[in-house]
Amino acid sequence: MSKPLYNSRIVDTYIKLIKRRYSYINIGDLLGFAGMKPYEVADQGHWFTQEQVNLFHEQLKKLTGNMDIAREAGRYAASPEAIGVMRQYILGLVGPSKTYEMFGRASTKFTRSSHYESRKLAGNRIEVTVTPNEGVTEQPFQCANRTGFLEAASMIFNHELPHIDHPECIFKGDKVCRYVINWEQNRSFIWLRIRNIAAPLLFMTILVSLLFNIWFALQVVLPASFVVVLLLTIIAEHVEKTEMNTSLDNLWSSTDQLLEQINMNYNNALMANEIGQVISRQTNIDDILANVVQILEKRLDYDRGMILLTNREKDKLVFRAGFGYNDEHFALLKKTSFHLNRPESRGAFVVALREQRPLLINDVNEIEGDLSPHSLAFVNKLGAQSFICCPIICEDEKLGILAVDHLKSKRPLLQSDMSLLMGIAPVIGISIRNADLIDARGRQFRSILKVMAASIDARDPLTAGHSEKVTEYALGICSELGLSGEHREVIRVSALLHDYGKIGVPDAILKKNGMLTDEEYEIVKAHSSKTREILEQVSFEGNFSKVPEIAGSHHEKIDGSGYPNGLKGKAIPLGARIIAVADFFEAITAKRHYRDPMNIEDAFKLLREGGGRHFDRRLVEALISYYNKTYACNAPQAVSWN
């Protein structure tokens, strides 16, 4: 078991940097990959092993795509944001030598892997030596992290990055890592030092002059000395003022950039929220994607954008939605797919999804050598100049790619653009996953219904397919009436199961060739009540809760002569009235044991005769209209009825 070497504060600094600049990264997953827990990072007394730190860094490098992330983290560790403005101010007062000494003590406190020593070589030159402790094997990224830290520490008392020499390095075979830091002194500081040195020298000159010639000392030397000191003071103050104005300009510029970033983050948060609200109301993948690309086109400053999703076999990426492309490009996208099961595939989309990391390319010419001929041809045909592609992941499942690009780059694509898209991608992923689950649940639900319906129809070869045919006619009536999708779905389910109560009717009655006796007819009639009783035991939810009532009422008649409850007119649910027409029409036009099928013209006539008494006239005409449109070749000429 490796010894714990690194205090949790080191990892905590990385986490703060990630939250600040790489907000799209899932910190929980990152820590989990390295075997770290969030509460361990929060505990300032916890220590991590070298193996954990190595895994943390490697995964972070992979997720950010930044090979120099350790150096960036080192600079961040010594920034005012990390150490606090007040602490930075105090360190600026004590000077660089003392600052590096204090940083050395802090570093030794937070790591057991090495020992820090600092030594002043000159006014603007300091040497820092890091000696690894016995038995400890550090990694090269930790040297880069120290370099970044030393650079940022120097900037506490100087506005420019220092020059750092690294003459000895553990990772080049030396016993220690030695860093020599040099920085430029501020010009105002140099002029003040000249004045401070000149003032006592001039004072001594005045004293000496007084001993030899009082008049000359008072009339010439004293005024000249005063003028020199005053001039040096004015020059120093002027230079200091110039430097201060420059710093203020930089501060204002930084403030403007900060405000711009705040506004950008706010707008991005609003957009992500808008996307979340819009797609949360959708359960169909195509509707989700259509809404997403519409918002992206409206809100974002990109020429074009697309969403590619994996196919059902998860071996290809295929185009599903996009904006900004012309007809030729849309046609190209729709017929192009990207193979995911080929190890040699090097396309940006495939790499981003395979490695689960975003890619930002500001000049496609830079990656031509890394692309396969297929990918290069695709990029050239689309005319892309710069692009970002982000993986869409949900619960470690690779779902697809969100990509945007510029044809004629309005501005360079930035890290903030990638962070924004990586913030949107998980929202899209969750919605797609939910839509998939709902769709799968729907398919499962529909297949169960079909099996249930078929299990009744299958008892007699002559009635096989009856429920499905009744469902078709019922939905045809719905179409003629212009009913909504929700109503249609409830009626579809009710129609499929309308005869399920026949499961309790004996075969001898169900398959009887001749006319039924009164007793047998009463047994058959009971199937309506039995259907409702059975279906009420199914956990139908929402609008589907009406299914048992609709299915159990399909033998009710407009004049109240039907069964099982003798309902009249509109007291009969609309769905039941629709199924009644569809069921009667299918029954009289199909062969039964005791009769041959009726021809369509006679069936229409019989339906119309029952209109107003047994059936809703409007629904009868809707069925006839649907049948004539659908089966025009075999249907009789429509008959006019006055």
Encoding tokens for residue 642?
A: 């006055």
Tokens of 403: 């990509």
Mean pLDDT of 499-505: 85
3-state secondary structure of 395: coil
Residue with tokens 């204090």: 102
Q: Read off the pLDDT of residues 79-90 as tens digits, 9 standing for 90 and up.
A: 666 655 445 444
262 by Cβ neighbours in 10 Å (0-12 / 13-18 / 19+) ranks as: exposed
| Angle ∠(549,550,554) on CA atoms, nearest 5 | 115
Percent of the chain with pLDDT over 70: 83
**What 3-state class would DSSP assign to 592?**
strand
Domain 282-434: CATH superfamily is: GAF domain (3.30.450.40)
Give the pLDDT band (50/70/90) at residue 234.
confident
3-class state of residue 477 by DSSP: helix
Determine phi and psi for 565, rounding to 5 degrees.
-115, 0
pLDDT bucket at 263, cuts 50 / 70 / 90: low
Query: Beta strands of 371-496 (E only): which ranges?
Result: 386-394, 397-406
pLDDT of residue 616: 94
Distance CA 56, CA 215 (A): 78
Residue 23, φ and ψ in degrees, nearest 5:
-65, -15
Cβ proximity of 580 and 554 under 8 Å: yes
Does the pLDDT at position 617 exceed 90?
A: yes
221 DSSP assignment: I
Q: Does the pTM exceed 0.75?
A: no
* Host H or E run for residue 12: helix 8-21
- Between the two ends of the chain, the Cα-to-Cα distance in Å is 95
CB 510 within 8 A of CB 500: no
- Give the 3-state secondary structure of residue 111: strand
Tokens of 193: 């030092």
**How far is it, in rounded angstroms, from Cα 611 to Cα 493?**
25
Element (DSSP H or E) covering residue 533: helix 527-535
Q: What number is the average pLDDT over the span 299-320?
A: 88
d(C-alpha 268, C-alpha 288), whole Å = 19
* Radius of gyration in angstroms for the set of CA atoms belonging to the chain, rounded to a whole number: 41
Q: Give the residue among 319, 259, 278 at the shortest CA–CA distance from 424.
A: 278
The whole-number pLDDT of residue 155 equals 62
Task: Confirm if 432 and 392 have CB atoms less than 8 A apart.
Answer: yes
Please state, in angstroms and rounded to a whole number, the distance separating the CA atoms of residues 280 and 541: 20
**Residue 389: what residue type?**
C
Q: How far apart are CA 361 and CA 355, in angstroms?
A: 16
Does residue 6 register a pLDDT over 90?
A: no
pLDDT for residue 410: 60
**Cβ-contact 272, 423 below 8 angstroms:** yes
Tokens read off for 70? 């350790």
Correct CATH for 458-630 of 1.10.3210.10, 3.40.50.300, 1.20.1090.10, 3.30.300.130 = 1.10.3210.10
185 falls in which pLDDT band (50, 70, 90)?
Answer: low
Buried b / exposed e over 419-428, threshold 16 CB at 10 Å, is bbbbbbbbbb
CB 177 within 8 A of CB 146: yes
Instruction: Dump pLDDT digits (tens) for 372-393.
Output: 677 777 878 888 878 888 999 8
Residue 119 to residue 116: CA distance in whole angstroms: 10
Which is more confidently placed, 62 or 192? 62
Cα(617)–Cα(627) distance, rounded to whole angstroms? 16
The per-residue pLDDT for 642 is: 28
Return the higher-pLDDT residue of 371 and 616: 616
Average pLDDT over residues 68-86: 73
Residue ranges covered by each domain of the chain:
4-182, 187-265, 282-434, 458-630
Query: Which percentage of the chain shows pLDDT scores above 90?
Result: 21
In 3D space, the residue among 532, 537, 518, 542 whose CA is nearest the CA of residue 567 turns out to be: 532
DSSP characters over 542-559: GGGGGHHHHHHTTT--TT
Mean pLDDT of the chain: 81
Q: Residue 607: is its pLDDT beyond 50? A: yes
Number of neighbours of residue 518 by Cβ within 10 angstroms: 6
- Quick one: pLDDT at residue 90? 46
Residue 44's Cβ-side half-sphere holds a number of Cα atoms within 13 Å equal to 3
Q: What is the pLDDT of residues 332-352, one digit of tens each?
A: 988 888 888 887 777 788 888
Beta carbons of 76 and 17 less than 8 angstroms apart? yes
Q: DSSP secondary structure string, 125-193?
A: EEEEEEEEPTT----HHHHHHHHHHHHHHHTTS-SSPPEEEEEE-GGGT-SSEEEEEE-PPPHHHHHHH
Angle at 415 between CA 411 and CA 417, to 5 degrees: 65
Task: Name which residue leads in pLDDT, 603 or 150.
Answer: 603
Cα separation, 123 vs 67, in Å, equals 34
524 CB-side CA count, 13 A:
14
pLDDT tier for residue 638 given thresholds of 50, 70 and 90:
very low
User: Under 8 Å CB-to-CB from 125, ≥6 apart: which residues?
Assistant: 180, 181, 182
Tokens of 155: 């900037």
Residue 336 three-state SS = coil
Residue 641 has pLDDT above 60, yes or no: no
Give CATH superfamily name and number for 4-182: H-NOX domain (3.90.1520.10)
- pLDDT tops 60 at residue 255: no
Helix (H) or strand (E) holding 339: strand 337-339
- Answer for the pair 469, 457: CB distance below 8 angstroms, yes or no: no
Question: Nearest Cα to 145, choosing from 70, 75, 82, 76?
Answer: 70
- pLDDT score recorded for residue 585: 95
